[in-house]
C-alpha cells in the first residue's frame, strides 16, 4: 500500500487520521482539520512530517482525560518515534494488567497523535489496532514502518523496544508536565 492510498483511506473526514471515533472535545478541532487538509495534499509522506515532534506539545494541546485512560495515554506518549513498548511494559509501569492496557489503548481517542500504534505484544508480534477496523494490523505495521521501525512479517525486532528505565524516565517527565498544566488550570479556575 502506498502512503497516498493510506492517507486517502484514513483522511476522508474533516478530522483526518488523528481522531477515529468522534471529536469529544479532546483536542482543538482546528489543529486536526489543518493537519488533515495538509495531509490530503501530499503524495510522499513520512509520519515524522505530520506527527507532533514533541510529546510535551501534545500534552499541552490535547485534553488528556483524568483516570486510567489518561495515564495510559501519557505512557504511550513516553514511547519515542522509532521505538515500541509492550503491553506488559506499560502494565508494569502503571501497575495494571496488560489486558487493561490493551483495553485503554483501544479507547485512545487520538490515534497517531497519542501513539497507541507503538504498543505491541511482548514477543514482538504487532498485536491489534482498533483505530481502523478494516486492516487495523496492516495500518499499525505501516505506521511503525513510517517511523523507521523494522516490521518483518508483522513482528518487531527486539532492537526497537525501548529500555524500561528510559520508558519510566520519559513517562514521569511527561506526567509531571501534565500535572503542572493541570495545577495551573486549577489555580486560575479557583481565582475566578
Residue 179's nearest CA partner among 59, 83, 82 is: 59
Candidates 35, 101, 116, 149; catalytic one: 116
Residue 112's nearest CA partner among 23, 37, 24, 16 is: 16
Q: Which helix (H) or strand (E) holds 139?
A: helix 136-146
Verify whether residue 151 is a known catalytic residue: no
Q: How far is CA 38 from CA 35, 91, 179, in A?
A: 5, 36, 32
Residue 112's nearest CA partner among 67, 73, 156 is: 73
Q: Which residues are catalytic?
A: 116
Amino acid at each position: 500500500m502506498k502512503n497516498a492510498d493510506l492517507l486517502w483511506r484514513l483522511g476522508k473526514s474533516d478530522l483526518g487520521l488523528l481522531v477515529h471515533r468522534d471529536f469529544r472535545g479532546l483536542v482543538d478541532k482546528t489543529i486536526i482539520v489543518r493537519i488533515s487538509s495538509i495531509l490530503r495534499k501530499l503524495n510522499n509522506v513520512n509520519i515524522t512530517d505530520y506527527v507532533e515532534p514533541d510529546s510535551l506539545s501534545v500534552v499541552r494541546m490535547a485534553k488528556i482525560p483524568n483516570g486510567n485512560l489518561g495515564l495510559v495515554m501519557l505512557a504511550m506518549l513516553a514511547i519515542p518515534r522509532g521505538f515500541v513498548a509492550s503491553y506488559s511494559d506499560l502494565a508494569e509501569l502503571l501497575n495494571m494488567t496488560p489486558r487493561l492496557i490493551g483495553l485503554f489503548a483501544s479507547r485512545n481517542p487520538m490515534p497517531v497523535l497519542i501513539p497507541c500504534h507503538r504498543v505491541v505484544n511482548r514477543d514482538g508480534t504487532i498485536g491489534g489496532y482498533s483505530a481502523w477496523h478494516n486492516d487495523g494490523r496492516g495500518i499499525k505495521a505501516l505506521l511503525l514502518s513510517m517511523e523507521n521501525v523494522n516490521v518483518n512479517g508483522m513482528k518487531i525486532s527486539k532492537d526497537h523496544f525501548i529500555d524500561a528505565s528510559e520508558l519510566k524516565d520519559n513517562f514521569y517527565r511527561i506526567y509531571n508536565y501534565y500535572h503542572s498544566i493541570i495545577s495551573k488550570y486549577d489555580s486560575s479556575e479557583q481565582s475566578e
